[in-house]
Each structure stands twice: as structure tokens, then as C-alpha cells.
Amino acid sequence: MGLDAAYDRDALASMKGQLAEWRQGDLIDSVPYFWASPGGADPLTELFTTSIAQRSGVAMWDERAAGEAVSTDIGRGWAIVASQTCDVGATGPGLRHLTVQVHPVVEAPSMSKEALADAYGHRKVDLFPVSGLSGGPWFADLRVSFPVSKSLLALATPVRGFVTVEESHRFAQHLAAKVRRPALHDAVSDQLVPALETFFKRQRESDWIADIEQVRLTVVEGEPLWPSRVELLVVLRGELQPSGKRAIRDLRTQLGKPFKRATIDATRAPHGCVLGPVRFQRLEKLSVEEYRNSTPLRISDFRSFS
């Protein structure tokens, strides 16, 4: 049934030795980028595909519309393994997986200093820095992923994508956070987060900044995409000084009206969303319920300010 009929488990088991060398975060070279696409010329990507048996076609990045026979290296190159290491091998849960998921790895020499700082600071959801390649800078592009047969891995030698174990762990955490993050109103990412980011950067010399661990958002009323009331939850490592609390509360007051206007929708939220009072909570006193009911906002690591 399904994939079970598509591959030979005994053949996969015979690759145990070769696949044992592979792990999450490893790099494989010369992988074509591909995805399902409408037959003919896709108006979104301008790529040309041929439908087979009335199914969607498969587009490759280096195929161009209008039937041009173009053979270039565009869209071919490094890819990074995103599947969990236990699923990559040929034993245990890995025996149930014919393929591994990979993301393309792209070189970004023309990125601005600010964009690079955001990417290296893990503030870009769809980019993750890859340190295992020379030159660069290199990043895993998490906007697209595609399956690669394990037989391809078995024929290749893995290249470690990261120099340190800590980077590998951070990569795994980044992937998990991207998948599990809930969908929030656009005003959160477009207005609230940038305003908080700017505020905390300006406060980097303040002696209270080191007491902040994280800023989270709690949807108190309504749905995450169309909330009617939200609150900021500031998680603390220590006792935040009164001047720090006052500054954050003042910021919340400044952001309240613009945020409410940005969340007004005639049908879903005619009155917009209220940005409620800021809550401060010590990390060791944060309850499981508070943690589960709130979402971390992607703001600079506060340790870099301390």
C-alpha cells in the first residue's frame, strides 16, 4: 500500500553500512530541485512540464517555458538533509523510509550586512547558516524541500554541513520550530516583532536587558489568525528592574493603537485586536500551561545584548 509497494526493504537493509555514515545536517551535491507543477507552462514559475497520465507534471528549476531545450546548472547543487537521523539509516524507523527530505543550500554573497546578521542570528525563519562549506556565505533555504532516494545517499559520501555539534543541534531545533509554529496575524510579524526588535536593540546598553530570556505572545481571545485580544509575556532570568518594566510597558502603550488598526477586518475582526497589558514572569515560575498557550516571538537573542 502506498510507498510500501514502491521499494524493496531487503534492498534498503543491504545499504545499512553506507547509510550509517549519514545524519541530519549532512550535505549531498548535484541534486536537481524539483516539484509538482501544472502541465505546460506554469504561469507562476515559467517552468515547462509535461503531465503524465492526467497527473501533475514535475518541474525542475533548470527547465524553461516555451519548450526551450536549455541545459544549465541553474538550480542544481548542494542540498542538506532535514530528516531526523533515525529516519536516515536502514534500521529501526529508517527501514520504513524510502527517501529523506532535503532543503537546497544556496550561496548568498550579495546579502546586506543587516540581512546577514538576521540570518546568522537565526531570526529568519526560512534561512539557516551552513558552516561546513568554504566560501559563501551559505544558507539552507527552508522555503522548499524535496525527497531524495536513499540509494542516492548510499552512492555518495556525506559532507558535514556544520563545524560544531552545537550548530547541528540548533539546526534541528530551527527545523522543529518552523514546523510547529502557529499561524499568527500578519500584523504580529509585520509590525509588532519589528517594533520590539528595534526597541530592544536601542536598549542594548541598559543594565536590565540581561534579565530578559524571551518574549512570547499569548492569544487571550479569538483565533490566532484573527485574535481580538493578545498579550506580551516577557520571560525573565532574574528580577527585572522597575525601569525595564516601565520602558516595556510604555512601548506597549505606543504600539496599542497602530496594532489595533492593523488588525481590523470588516468581516473577521471589525473592532481589531487589543494589545493587552504586558505580563512578566520568571523562567522558573513559568507554568506548563503558560508555556503551551504562548508563542515565542523571533527577536534577537537577548544574550547578545548582555
pLDDT of residue 135: 85
Question: Cα–Cα distances in Å, from 206 out to 79, 175, 199?
Answer: 42, 32, 11
Confidence of residue 1 (pLDDT cuts 50, 70, 90): low
For residue 259, pLDDT over 60 is answered with: yes
Residue 302 pLDDT greater than 70, yes or no: no
Instruction: Assign 43 a pLDDT band (cuts: 50, 70, 90).
Output: confident
pLDDT of residue 72: 39
- Rounded distance, CA 117 to CA 119, Å? 5
**What is the rounded CA–CA span in Å between residue 255 and residue 260?**
9
Give the fold, CATH level 3, of 186-305: Beta Polymerase; domain 2 (3.30.460)
Cell 518552523, located at residue: 178
Quote the mean pLDDT of the chain: 86
- Residue bearing the bigger pLDDT, 124 or 168: 168
- Count of beta carbons in the 10 Å neighbourhood of residue 69: 6
- The C-alpha cell at 197 is 526588535
Higher pLDDT, 107 or 79: 79
* 153 neighbors 31 (Cβ within 8 angstroms): no
pLDDT score, position 68: 46
Pairing of strands 26-32, 76-81: antiparallel
Mean pLDDT confidence for 96-105: 93
Q: Which pLDDT score, from 0 to 100, does residue 242 have?
A: 94
Where are the domains positioned within the chain? 2-33+75-180, 186-305
What are the percentages of helix, strand and coil residues in the chain, rounded to 5?
35, 25, 40
Q: Give percent of the chain above pLDDT 90.
A: 53
Helix (H) or strand (E) holding 77: strand 76-81
Could you tell me the three cell numbers for 108? 548568498
CA 12 to chain centre: 30
* Structure confidence by residue, pLDDT tens digits, 103-154: 999 888 778 888 888 888 887 888 999 999 988 899 999 999 999 999 999 9
Cis peptide before 104 (omega within 30 of 0): no
Residue 132 confidence (pLDDT): 94
Query: How many CB atoms sit inside 10 A of residue 152's CB?
Result: 14
Q: Which residues contact 263 (CB under 8 A, 6 or more apart)?
A: 185, 187, 226, 227, 269, 272, 273
| pLDDT tens column, 187-227 | 998 899 999 989 998 998 898 998 999 999 999 999 888 99
Tens digit of each residue's pLDDT (9 = 90 or more) over 45-76: 777 777 776 778 887 765 433 344 444 344 45
Question: What topology does CATH give the domain 2-33+75-180?
Answer: SH3 type barrels. (2.30.30)
